[in-house]
Chains A and B, each alone.
Chain A
Amino acid sequence: GAGVSQTPSNKVTEKGKYVELRCDPISGHTALYWYRQSLGQGPEFLIYFQGTGAADDSGLPNDRFFAVRPEGSVSTLKIQRTERGDSAVYLCASSSAGLAGAGANVLTFGAGSRLTVL
């Protein structure tokens, strides 16, 4: 697609529920990133994929968070047993940078999915 698409744009859920957030990256971008942005904060890295595999998941806060990218394109971020502290905007970005490529890593971001846990 022309840009990075994220759905839903807004999600309100109750504490303890399961949530899935979807990201459709730019066609052909092999690297895909999930960031979380809390109110008044900068984007905080969660996980990134090179192709289908998670190259670095060190930013996932705990085992309630999981992400997949089974075909190397669309990715889903899954949050189990949501807590109020999970409320944030979840940002997805993609880039064409290779694993050990030279040059800048230019990330193109989607508009984000705003998650509110009541």
Chain B
Amino acid sequence: GEDVEQSLFLSVREGDSSVINCTYTDSSSTYLYWYKQEPGAGLQLLTYIFSNMDMKQDQRLTVLLNKKDKHLSLRIADTQTGDSAIYFCAVGNSGNTPLVFGKGTRLSVIA
């Protein structure tokens, strides 16, 4: 089955850019997602990208997709202390088939 891998921890200084990386195994995945989880809360969708796109930008967030290498990244510009959370990469297909999640990357922002 699909396997989604992420590094577990990332620490950055406030104001710097954060880059969170994700790799996946199923090349037929058509949609790739980034979710954010703050302590004690459910997962919140940040953004997603369709597999025929290389890049998607949404305010401070930039998603890059390298479909050949099955590599997805999330860049957060001007990282703030409020961005401290766990970020999950997830992949899926069209329709309502379930998403497969990575283990999450814990982002710590140092003031």
Contact = CB atoms under 8 A, between A and B. Distances in A.
Interface of A: 4, 30-31, 33, 35, 40-45, 48, 50, 55-56, 59, 91, 93, 95, 97-112
Interface residues of B, number: 26
B94 A42 contact: no
Interface in B1-41: 4, 31, 33, 35, 40-41
B82 interface: no
B100 interface: yes
B98 A56 contact: yes
Contacts of B96: 30-31, 48, 50, 55, 95, 97-99, 101, 105
A100 B50 contact: no
A48 B4 CA distance: 20
Contacts of A43: 43, 88, 101
A33 B101 CA distance: 13
A111 B94 contact: no
Contact of B94 (A4, A91, A105, A110): A105
A66 to B, nearest CB: 18
Contacts of A112: 42
B45 A106 contact: yes
B95 A104 contact: no
18 contacts: A4-B42, A43-B43, A43-B101, A44-B101, A45-B99, A48-B96, A101-B94, A104-B31, A104-B33, A104-B48, A105-B31, A105-B96, A105-B97, A106-B45, A106-B48, A107-B43, A109-B35, A109-B44
Given A101-B96, A106-B45, 14 more contacts: A42-B4, A42-B88, A42-B103, A50-B96, A56-B97, A95-B96, A99-B96, A101-B94, A105-B94, A107-B43, A107-B99, A109-B35, A110-B42, A112-B42
Point out which of B50, B88, B96, B98 has the most chain A C-beta atoms below 10 A from its C-beta: B96
A33 B41 CA distance: 17
